[in-house]
Every structure is written in structure tokens, then in C-alpha cells.
Amino acid sequence: MHAGSYNSLLVLFSLLVAMLASYTALDMAGRIATAQGRAAHWWLAGGACAMGIGIWSMHFIAMLAFHLPIPLGYDLPITVASLLIAIASSALALWLVGRETLPWRRLAGGALLIGSGVAGMHYTGMAALRMVPGIYYIPSLFVLSVVIAVLASGTALWIAFNLRRESVWVRPLRAGASVVMGLAIAGMHYTGMAAAQFPIGAVCGAARDGMDTGWLAVVIIVVTLAVLAIALITSVLDVRLEARTSMLAISLAEANQELTYLALHDNLTKLPNRVLLEDRLEQAIQGATREKSRFALMFMDLDGFKAVNDAYGHPIGDQLLVAVARRIGANVHSQDTIARLGGDEFVLLASVSEPADAATLAEKVLSAMREPFQVAGRELRVSTSIGIAMYPGDGELQHDLLTNADAAMYHAKALGRNTICFFEASMNANVHEQLQLVQDMRMALERRELTLQYQPKLTAPNGPIVGVEALVRWMHPTRGLIAPDQFIPLAEKTGLIVPFGDWILDEACRQMRAWRDEGRPEWTMAVNLSALQFRHASLIATVRDTLARHALEPCCLTLEVTESTAMRDADASLQILQQLHDMGVRISIDDFGTGYSSLLYLKRLPASELKIDRGFIRDLSRDTEDAAIVSAIVALGRTLNLNIVAEGVETAKQQEFLTRLGCNSLQGFLLGRPMSAENLIESLSNDNLLSEPVEEGTIGSCYDAGYLTPHYD
Ligand code: C2E
Ligand code: CA
Ligand code: CA
């Protein structure tokens, strides 16, 4: 037998290459596991090449380290074949490691296949020597070498699989594992070499026409190191890139989430907004249809919220809304949806089995809302009006349900606020009716259907008349006389109030001119301004032009603005009022006592008159609290030097009481109903008696009747 010997430097190199190849393999396995789509294929192909070349060159360098006392050479095609076997085995290994799971069966099968592959590569590589006679392998060592190959492959697979994900310790762990794997691969090789016996006299068939071994060693070492280094560097760069990409992806996902949240929620209360509500409503409809269950859609609107906002400003109003949202939330089930549609409108979507359950739930919310709210050290009170639509029954589509719940809510408000109201089909008729009314209203001016009535204002207790208040009426061609309460809010909503208001002012001034010419120069004319008119840019010019047109002095015109209108956006209001005041027009604060005027603000108002709201006068004799409020308002007016008018005086008792409290002027059915200009003059000539005294209690119906039928007292 020829005795072989080894070049120890090359042996060391072969070991290093084996370890480096193992490390590269582990690294590649990690790339394949985390890469996606096409990238994973490229990593598999590149990784298999790098790893295959690594293992193969370990084997080949070790072969070059081996010396026999005869010339050696390697057959090129067989050598290439052994390289291909190495690459194929590596590809199989990497593919296995890249799977989601690695069950024991697959691990064992993989180890067997790859182990045989590595052994195959080795013995094919040996065959490239083309020894004649052939190499004799000692069977036990041969088997041992294959067993080592299989065991090493199994261990490598297992380690690679478990170290494929990136983590803090993965690099040192991989380094350790690649030392073990490198030793195992080399062990297999050198065991295989120990099994090989070269008979004396054997010659290497590839020595002459095969490749020369000297420079081959250098080339292979350089190429292999280059391949492995490139593979590793690419991998490290890719890990960094991937980390950056994934960080970007995370922040992108977070931003996306935030945007989605913002798009679906109300900024202030963090409740779902209309978009999300509509989506939930759609789901609720589908769910209820499928499961034959029911749900209730409740439309809630706060009563008295505007007054709070006007009085304390938006920041306090906002805090109140947040507190309201929280309180509603505390009184419903967590799976129910509460949404805010903007302003003081909330919607509750609740699954219930019976309308009675919906009523119970709504009552619960209602009574919770009645409790005062503590906001910024203040105690604020609001109540709620709730309209309820049931599914199925009150609409098939989400839009219908919302519209119907809304209609029911308006009904609840009309019923006197702080109450609940279920939807009924007749409420929709109301909507159509209103639409029709708006259409008719557009023609009203052209058709000269508006008229003014005048209600006298008297010096307390019995006169004389100091002026009149102009109150508009609409003579509808088919519905008869319509009271302002029934069309002024609609005219406000549609903007028609502006041309209406211009006409009213002009007509009132025309009438005043006529009275002056008839010899009543002391009467002043009061004209009501609605919120929209008050804010309209042309107000000042219109007032000035109208007065000029009728050659009237500004001081004979009083403009009545409600307290809540004057309080809304206090600074802007103040500016408008100041301009009117500077012009010489008098300002009266109407419906006083219903808002939340602060004394400080009131002091700055250039007003000359306060009109105590009718609500305080009604129960004056019975309600001591109202009496206290009226006397407080009177006292306030006195200190601010304002004329105090009590409106809605219906009984002699009220007349006497208000006079005693110190009101300067009185206005009411007792002293004169609103009437046409001719009737006013006529009743004056009738013994100065404007109307019969009316008994307390009978007024309500008279008043109501007064809305619908013209009265020519
Ligand atoms: P307002 O300015 O508070 O007008 C007083 C209302 O009380 C009038 O109702 C009047 O008829 C009624 N009234 C007068 N005396 C008594 C009484 O003794 N008892 C009772 N229960 N009521 C009395 P009207 O004319 O129906 O007007 C209602 C509201 O409509 C007015 O309240 C005002 O806010 C608005 N309005 C009326 N005319 C005009 C107008 O020309 N322009 C604008 N923008 N609004 C108007
Ligand atoms: Ca008024
Ligand atoms: Ca009033």
C-alpha cells in the first residue's frame, strides 16, 4: 500500500473553509427563512452555490493537502460532477431549513439525503483521481464516514433550523455551531480518507491529462474565500436593509393605523364618527336580518347646549361634550355603538329584543343626563331629547333609519324636550310638509303673503303706549295664517330669513312713517332680528338705507335681539351691536333670562332695554323662584340703566305684580294683542281700551288659536 501524507497548512485551511462554509450556510438559512417571494428563491440559489462551493472546496483543499509518492491529477468532468453534487445537497438542506416547521421525520429524511450527498461528493471527488487499480476502501471506516456525514447533516439541519431567525444571540451561537459543523464535515472527509487504501503500484489515471495540483490549491482557496465572503457581506447588508425596511414598514403601519382611527373617530370625544357609524349600522342591519334579531337606533340631541356654548365659550362647551360622551358610554352596554355626528348630536346603536327595552335604555340615559355636569369648576345642566327608530320596522336602509330616528328626535324636542319619542310613519309626512312649506315660502314675498301685526308696549301699569313691536304673519293661500314660530326657524335654515327680514324692516318703517305723518311721533317701532339676520354682513347698511328711505330718525327704531343670539360669539356680537348703537338705533335684549349672560358681558352691551322672557311671567304668582328672578333682573336693569319690559302679561295680577317689582313697560294680551295697523288705531279710539282683560288660565287656548286664525280685535 502507498502511505499517504498530509500538508498540515492545507489541512488547517480545509478546516477553516469548512467552518466558514458552515457559518455561511447558517446565515443563508436565516435569510431564506425571513425573505419573501422571489427574494427567498434567489437566496436559496445563491446560498446553495456558496455553501456547495464551500463544502466542496473544503474537500478539494483537503485532497490537495494529501500526498502520495506518485504523481496525482484530477479528472475535470468528475471533479465538476462532485461540485454539482455538493451544490444540490446544499440546496436541499437550505430548502428544508426554510420551511415553517421541521418535524422529526423530515429532519431524518433530510439528514439521510444530505449526508449521502456529502459522502457522494467526497467519493466522486476521489474517483476523479482515476486510480488504476482502483482505491480499496476499508468497509468499517467507509460506513463510519457515511454515518458521520448523515449525523453531521442532521445536526446541521437542526441547528440551522433553530438559528434561522434573527435575535440578539444568533451571531455568537451561529459561530459556535459552525465550528462544530466544520469539524464534523472535516471529520467525515478524513475518516473517508482513512478508509482509502492505495495499492502499491497503483497509478493515477488523471495525472497526465488532469489538472495540475500546485496552483489549483491557491486558486481554489482564493475563489472559495471570495465566494463565501461575498455571500456573507451581501447577507449582512441585506439584514441591515431588511431591518431598516421593517422599521419603516412598522412606522408606516402605525401611521396608517392612526390615520384610519382619525378618519373614523370624532376628534373631540374619540367616539366613532358618522363614517364608522354607517359602517356599524350596515353590519347591524345584516346581522339582524340574518339572525332575525332587532336593534334600536337612537338619535340624541342635547337641549340647552347652545346656551352653555354661548355663555361660557367653546372650550367649556367642548369639555361638556366630552363629559356627556363619557356619561352616555357609562350607561350603555360595551358592545353598543355610540357615535357623535358633530355638534351636540349623538347616536346610539343598541341591540335590544323589544321596543320596551329600547325605551328602558333611553330612559336610563335620559335620567343620567339630567344630573348636573361638573365642568371646569362649574355646574352645568343639559337635558336630552331622544328619537328612536327600530330595526326591522322603521326603515330597511341605514339612511332611512337615521332619517327616521332624527325625525323622532325632532318630535321629542317639539314635545317639550327631555323626553324620548319612537318613530311613527306620520313623522315623515311632517318632513314632506316642511319641504312643501319651504317651496311655498320662496314665493311668499313675491305673492305679498307676509303681513305685519303690531303689539303695543305700554308704560307700566296702564299706558300710555310707548311703542309697538312688529310681529310677522304669513297669510298662506291654503293653510291660512301661519305664526312666525312655524316658519321663522325654517326661513333661518334656508337663508330666506334675510330677504324676509329686509321686507319686515322696510314695512315696519313704512308704517312708522305713516303714523308719524298721522301725528303719532312718540311711538317707537321694535323689529325682531333672528340670529342669521343679525350676523349678516349687510345688516348695518340695510338698516341705514331703510331708515333713510323713509326719512326716519334712528332713535325711533328698536332692534330686538334674543339673549342667546347676542351671547353667541360675544366679541363679534358686541361689534355689530356697537355699530348699530353708534348709528343711533336702540337695542333690546329679547327673551332675557333664558341664556347664561354673564353680568360682565351685559355691562359692555350697548343695549337700552331688557325684555324679560315670557316664561318667567307665566307662573309669576305661583312660582316664587320666578318672582325672585324677575326682581333680580329688574334690579340688574336699574343698575345698568336699562329699560325693563315684561312681555306676555296676561292677567291683571301679573300687571300689578310686575309694576310693583319695578318693570318700566308691559306688553301682553292683557294690554293688547298683536293686530293690524288699522285695528290698533281703531281700538285706541275705542276709549283707549286695547283689549278686554282675560282670566288667568284661559289664555293658553286663546294664544294657540291666535296662531292659526287672524284676529281683528
Ligand atoms: P317674541 O319676539 O318673544 O315675540 C313675542 C311673542 O309673544 C309673539 O308671538 C306674541 O304674539 C306673543 N305674545 C304677546 N303677548 C302675549 C301674551 O300675553 N301671552 C302669550 N302667551 N304670548 C304673547 P309671535 O308673534 O307668535 O312671535 C313668536 C316669535 O317669533 C317672536 O317671539 C319672535 O322671536 C319671532 N318673530 C315674530 N315676528 C318676527 C319677525 O318679524 N322677525 C323675526 N326675525 N322674528 C319674528
Ligand atoms: Ca321680540
Ligand atoms: Ca320675547
pLDDT at residue 503, as a whole number: 96
Tell whether 480 is covered by a domain.
Answer: yes
Instruction: Answer yes or no: is the C-beta of 455 below 6 A from any ligand 1 atom.
Output: yes
Q: How far apart are CA 464 and CA 446, in angstroms?
A: 37
Same domain, 561 and 683: yes
- 695 or 204: which carries more pLDDT confidence? 204
The pLDDT value given to residue 704: 31
Q: What one-character-per-residue DSSP string does 454-469 give?
A: EEEEEETTT--EEEEE
* Residue from 454, 474, 528 whose mutation best tests the ligand 1 pocket (most atoms within 8 A of CB): 528
Per-residue confidence (pLDDT) for residue 314, from 0 to 100 = 85
Q: Looking at the domain assignment, is residue 439 inside a domain?
A: no
The answer to whether the CB of 590 is under 6 A from ligand 1 is: yes
Residue 300 sits in the same domain as residue 220: no
Ligand 1 atom nearest the C-alpha of 647 is 15
The structural domain count of the chain equals 3
CB atoms within 10 A of CB 133: 10
Distance 502 CA to ligand 2 centre (A): 16
Look at ligand 1, atom 43, and give the residue with the nearest C-alpha.
528
pLDDT band at 46 (very low <50, low <70, confident <90, very high): confident
CB distance 30 to ligand 1 below 6 Å: no
Find the mean pLDDT for residues 607-616: 89
Structural domain includes residue 518: yes
Cα 635 to the center of its chain, rounded Å: 49
Peptide bond into 392 cis (omega under 30): yes
CA of 390 to the centre of ligand 2 (A): 40
Burial class (CB within 10 angstroms; exposed 0-12, middle 13-18, buried 19+) of 676: middle
Ligand 1 within 6 A of 120 CB?
A: no
Q: What is the mean pLDDT of residues 197-218?
A: 77
The reply to whether ligand 1 has any atom less than 6 angstroms from the CB of 485 is yes
CATH number of residue 342's parent domain: 3.30.70.270
Same domain, 59 and 141: yes
**Ligand 1 test: best mutation among 455, 468, 471, most atoms within 8 Å of CB?**
471
Pick the ligand that lies closest to the CA of residue 471: 1
- Kindly state the average pLDDT of the residues 382-399: 88
- The average confidence (pLDDT) of the chain is 85
CATH number at 596 reads 3.20.20.450
In ligand 1, which atom is closest to the CA atom of 707? 26
Of the listed ranges 53-67, 293-307, 394-408, 412-426, the least confidently predicted one is 412-426
**Ligand with the closest atom to the CA of 594:** 3
| 255-305 pLDDT per residue, tens | 888 888 888 888 888 888 888 889 999 999 999 999 888 999 999 998 888
Residue 712: the pLDDT is 32
Residue 226 and residue 145 share a domain? yes
CB of residue 703 inside a 6 A radius of ligand 1:
yes
Which amino acid is present at 265? H
Assess whether the previous peptide bond of 71 is cis (omega < 30° from 0).
no
Q: Quick one: pLDDT at residue 7?
A: 85
563 in any annotated domain: yes
CB atoms within 10 A of CB 55: 31
Residue 261 within a domain: no
Closest residue to atom 12 of ligand 1, CA basis: 648
For residues 507 and 472, the answer to whether their CB atoms sit within 8 Å is no
- With 80 as the cut, is the pLDDT of residue 125 above it? yes
What is the rounded distance in angstroms from the CA atom of residue 520 to the CA atom of residue 78? 130
Q: Is the domain of 80 the same as that of 185?
A: yes
Whether residues 152 and 108 fall in one domain: yes
Q: How far apart are CA 325 and CA 314, in angstroms?
A: 16
Domain shared by 452 and 418, yes or no: no
Please tell me whether residues 406 and 452 are part of one structural domain. Answer: no
Q: Rounded to 5 degrees, what are φ and ψ at 346?
A: -120, 150
* Whole-number Å distance between alpha carbons of 702 and 685: 24
Range of the domain at 394: 274-425
* Residues 516-525 as b or e (16 or more Cβ within 10 Å = b): beeeeeebbb
Interval between CA 23 and ligand 2 midpoint (Å) = 92
Taken as a whole, the chain contains a residue count of 713
- Residue 669 near ligand 1, beta carbon < 6 Å: yes
The confidence band for 210, taking pLDDT boundaries of 50, 70 and 90, is low
- Would strands 465-476 and 524-529 be described as parallel, antiparallel, or unpaired? parallel
What is the whole-number distance in angstroms between the Cα of residue 563 and the centre of ligand 1? 15
532 lines ligand 1 (CB under 6 A): no
Does 666 reside within a domain?
Answer: yes
Regarding whether 622 and 544 lie in a shared domain, the answer is yes
Q: 10 Å Cβ neighbour count for 136?
A: 15
Helix (H) or strand (E) holding 386: strand 383-391
DSSP state of 74: B
22 and 127, same domain (yes or no): yes
Same domain, 557 and 642: yes
Q: pTM above 0.85? A: no
Bridge partner residues of 387 (DSSP): 299, 421
pLDDT in tens, 678-712: 999 888 877 554 544 333 333 332 233 222 223 33
Q: Whose CA is nearest to atom 33 of ligand 1?
A: 528
- Name which of 25-34, 370-379, 501-510, 552-561 the model is least confident about: 25-34
pLDDT in tens, 447-490: 999 999 999 999 988 878 999 999 999 999 998 999 998 899 88
Beta strands 295-303 and 383-391 are antiparallel
Ligand nearest to C-alpha 527:
1
What residues pair up with 525 in beta bridges, in sequence order? 468, 557
Give the separation between CA 524 and CA 509, rounded to whole angstroms.
10
Q: Are residues 300 and 406 in the same domain?
A: yes
Q: Is the pLDDT of residue 617 over 70?
A: yes
Residue 250 belongs to a domain: no
Residue 516, φ and ψ in degrees, nearest 5: -60, -45
Determine, yes or no, domain membership for 591: yes
Amino acid letter, 617? I
Long-range contacts of 651-658 (CB under 8 A, 24+ apart): 651/693, 651/694, 651/695, 651/696, 651/699, 652/693, 653/620, 653/621, 653/696, 654/617, 654/620, 654/621, 655/460, 655/461, 656/461, 657/620, 657/621, 657/627, 658/460, 658/461, 658/617, 658/620, 658/630
Q: Is 62 in the pocket of ligand 1 (CB under 6 A)?
A: no
Residues near ion ligand 3 (Cβ under 5 Å): 590-591
In the chain, % of residues over pLDDT 70: 94
Is residue 530 lining ligand 1, measured as CB closer than 6 Å? yes
Question: Residue 529 has what pLDDT?
Answer: 95
Ligand 2 mean position, distance from CA 325 (Å): 35
Tell me, in angstroms, the distance from the centre of ligand 1 to residue 485's CA: 8
Per DSSP (E only), the strands in 283-323 are 295-303
